[in-house]
């Protein structure tokens, strides 16, 4: 009994939201770690986050 591997595999991952990174513009796919703050996530990685802050010269995140 063989399984036929189809290149066009249809998984539920296709339904996951995604949006471009605010810095590099690369599409970043939804991560479970971002489930709680997906709307606040703007950068694909720590490097982009730091870069964005460096450009704006904004203080580190914190405060209410
Ligand atoms: Zn990025």
Structural domain tally of the chain? 1
Eight-state DSSP code of residue 20: E
In-domain check, residue 62: no
In-domain check, residue 63: no
28 touches 19 (CB < 8 A): yes
Whole-number pLDDT of residue 55: 81
pTM: 0.59
pLDDT, one tens digit per residue, over 2-61 is 777 666 666 655 688 999 999 999 999 999 999 999 999 999 999 999 999 998 765 666
Phi and psi at residue 50, in whole multiples of 5°?
A: -65, -40
Distance 20 CA to ligand 1 centre (A): 8
23 touches 48 (CB < 8 A): yes
Domain residues for the domain of 28 are 17-56
pLDDT, one tens digit per residue, over 21-37 is 999 999 999 999 999 99
Distance 50 CA to ligand 1 centre (A): 10
In-domain check, residue 23: yes
In-domain check, residue 38: yes
Whole-number pLDDT of residue 28: 92
Per DSSP, the three-state class of 8 is: coil
């Amino acid at each position: 009994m063989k399984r036929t591997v189809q290149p066009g595999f249809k998984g539920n991952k296709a339904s996951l939201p995604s949006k471009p990174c605010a810095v590099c513009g690369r599409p970043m796919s939804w991560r479970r770690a971002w489930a709680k703050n997906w709307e606040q996530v703007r950068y694909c990685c720590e490097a982009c986050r730091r870069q964005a802050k460096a450009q704006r010269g904004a203080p580190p995140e914190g405060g209410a």
